[in-house]
Structure 1
Amino acid sequence: MRHWGTIALSFFLIGSPIICITWLISIFVLLSTSSRFYGSLVWATSATVLILVLFWLIGVLKDDQVTTLIALIAVLVIITTLGYSKYESHIEKLKIVDDQAINMRDYEPFREGTKAVSLPEPASLKIRSKLPHLDGSTALYPMYATFVQAVYKQKEYPYYGQDSEVQVNGTEDAYNRLIEGDVDLIFAPAPSKDQEAQAKAAGVELALTPIGYEAFIFFVNSRNEVQDLTLEQIQSIYAGEVTNWKQVGGVNEKIRPFQRRENSGSQTMLQKIMKEKQLMEPAKEDVNSGMGDIIKQTANYRNYKNAIGFSFLFYATEMVQEQQIHLLKINGVEANRENIRNGTYPLTAPFYAITAGSDNPKVQPFINWILSPQGQYLIEKTGYTPLNP
């Protein structure tokens, strides 16, 4: 009994510092990285060392054997860490298609060198006072920034400024701010069911004025040989019924279907085209939310060879030019401006100027001007499709 008691005491005296050090290292890892892998590796290494210590104490392993095994473990840990680090680096290099990939600052109105399109002549409407407060989808900011540049008085309108009359907070936050009365007008796709319910609960009526059209597109890695999918095949992929590219004419490889955040404009569009089919659970990724907490959120599209993603045509154009992705034809029809205009591309959707009972007298004249030839000209020149091309 004394023998086992001595072993237990020795194991406690040796193991306690190892566990404490492991705990401290794991806390540091959680604070410095968003990956669960390294924390798991730390604890797995610690557990292995503790087992070796126990075997050494009971005489199963000799001193030189323990030393050799610990050295071997150290080598394996280093190789594993380097290998996983290389894998992470590869993943990070995969192009992400995300609405934040466009630098909004490049389109700020009146900024020197702005990409915001200008009219060839003075605007027929000028607003110099009681400027309507604007917000909207990041997909549409390059467009409504041109409206501001044409009509509003010249000054700085930082897109991120808390006091700025012209902001871009994304579809979800833009709807929230409109419903709460923080802005007069937003530019966005049609609201989701949640956003409609939110407005109804707040006693707010959303007034949607269509001002142009955009194509909702699906894309894959440029190396993917699949060029065309039917709408039914898209629905089946995102319902989890079609899981391999071989089922739709591609190689024998599992399909990675990416989705977007709930209530984002593109995710709402996906939900609408699914119709009666149940949308599968989206892929998740670990994200460090601060203070060592790691949460799961919907993964951004990464350009894996077997991935499929979706967006609006304006976003994907640059990546197509860089030959990183190619757009899929839907029902045999290519997503381009001509097919949006003639109505043959099946996933064309209007986007809107949306109000919720603003008492600003300048809002309706502004919307009327957007529908005028000058406003429609700016929509087309920015890269979208006007109502009456």
Structure 2
Amino acid sequence: MRILAVLLMLTMLPVASAKEPYKAKPGVAGNITSVGSDTLGNLMTFWADRFKGHYPHVTFQIQASGSSTAPSALTEGTANVGPMSRELKESELNYFASTHGYEPTVLVVAIDAIALFADLHNPIEGLSLPQIDAIFSITRYCGGEQPLRFWHQLGLEGQWANKRIQLFGRNSVSGTYGLFKQKALCNGDFLPTVNEQPGSASVVQSVAYSDGALGYAGFGYKIAGVKTLPVSPGDGPYVKPSMVNIASGDYPLSRFLYLVVNKPPGQALPLLEQEFIRFILSEEGQKLVERDGFIPIPERLIRRQLNKIAGDV
């Protein structure tokens, strides 16, 4: 089973409380270099700023250039934490293992979703996954009967009838791009007319200021002037991208967000990295998750992650 499927099952199991207030330890100092997900860029900054409040002698370098940059930076030792908005690919795991002799440690730190953003005044009620695929892809592997290029093909009338759907999305180094390709395009190919943006914020801003636009980006990036669209897996009812639906896994484009670290088997992480992750998983760190528009992880998953950084499970 893939990591995501296993962890989704764990979220449904009851467990005693694991979230605790963070308590600082003596002797924590040094530099943390983070290379990876743009989706987690703001949250990494929030975590870093608050962590430095506990430890003034800790410095951070945060590079949010896309999830695909995290595995190579960790493998080559140019970063000690790698935020990612998707699972590691087999090739990335193999590259790391061939260099270090073991696989990296993958930690779940938050829950997110990819949302479909449209103009606030667009009357569309929602989209099914086959429709989304027929809009964004050239392959239509999800079963769409025909390409969907105009809003009238989705039942819109009046001033919307002849408007072309202007498409916005992430670039190929982004975990958001990869997950959307997997879940919404059934691993098909994007249309060349999708305007690729360097970050989720720029996707949403482009949708807000472009006539007839539709874009995909991280759920936490909603701004004034746009709305998020409910999504149906197929013929079933639309599911809103609400925090409850995302946390339960009912929303079709839900995902976990990860932090990847280099931890040799049977060994604990170095004190600095271990305390930073312990802070992220604390009550204080998970409140920052919610502040940034994401969803805190369930308590059972918190305990599982704490076990990972202390030693082998």
TM-score range, shorter chain: 0.5 to 0.7
2:43 equivalent in structure 1: 143
Kindly state the Cα deviation for residue 140 of structure 1 after the two structures are TM-superposed: 1.6
**1: distance between equivalents of 2:294 and 2:187?**
30
Alpha-carbon displacement from aligned partner over 1:66-113 (angstroms, at most 9, x marks no partner): xxxxxxxxxxxxxxxxxxxxxxxxxxxxxxxxxxxxxxxxxxxxxxxx
- Which residue, 288, 300, 311 being the options, matches 1:378? 288
TM-score after normalising by structure 1: 0.55
The list of structure 1 runs, each at least 4 consecutive aligned residues, that deviate by more than 6 angstroms after superposition, is 297-300
Does residue 34 of structure 2 align to residue 128 of structure 1?
no
Gaps of 5+ in 1: 1-120, 158-164, 286-296
Alpha-carbon displacement from aligned partner over 1:10-59 (angstroms, at most 9, x marks no partner): xxxxxxxxxxxxxxxxxxxxxxxxxxxxxxxxxxxxxxxxxxxxxxxxxx
1:185 equivalent in structure 2: 81
TM-score after normalising by structure 2: 0.67
Kindly state the Cα deviation for residue 269 of structure 1 after the two structures are TM-superposed: 1.5
- Which residue, 169, 189, 197 being the options, matches 1:259? 169
5 Å-filtered alignment, 1:1-389, equals 123-126=22-25, 128-152=28-52, 153-154=55-56, 157=59, 165-171=60-66, 172-191=68-87, 193=89, 196-202=90-96, 203=98, 205-240=103-138, 241-250=147-156, 251-274=161-184, 276=186, 278-283=188-193, 301=203, 302-303=206-207, 304-315=210-221, 317-318=222-223, 321=224, 323=225, 325-331=226-232, 332-357=238-263, 360-388=270-298
**2: distance between equivalents of 1:377 and 1:223?**
32
Kindly state the Cα deviation for residue 313 of structure 1 after the two structures are TM-superposed: 1.5
Higher relative contact order (CA 8 A, sep 6+): 2
User: Sequence identity of aligned pairs in percent?
Assistant: 23
**1: distance between equivalents of 2:241 and 2:21?**
33
- More off after superposition, 232-241 vs 123-132: 123-132
Structure (1 or 2) with the greater helix fraction: 1
Kindly state the Cα deviation for residue 192 of structure 1 after the two structures are TM-superposed: 6.0
**2: distance between equivalents of 1:123 and 1:368?**
8
**2: distance between equivalents of 1:156 and 1:124?**
16
1:151 and 1:277, CA in 2 relative to 1: closer, same or farther beyond 3 A? Answer: closer
Q: Number of paired residues?
A: 244
SS at match of 1:184: coil
Q: Which has the larger radius of gyration?
A: 1
1:26 equivalent in structure 2: none
- Give yes or no for contact 1:130–1:360 (8 Å, CA) kept in 2: no
Matched AA of 1:123: Y
Alpha-carbon displacement from aligned partner over 1:295-324 (angstroms, at most 9, x marks no partner): xx7797533222211100122x22xx2x2x
**1: distance between equivalents of 2:243 and 2:219?**
9
1:216 and 1:282, CA in 2 relative to 1: closer, same or farther beyond 3 A? Answer: same
Matched AA of 2:79: V
* CA-based RMSD: 3.0
1:384 and 1:329, CA in 2 relative to 1: closer, same or farther beyond 3 A? Answer: same
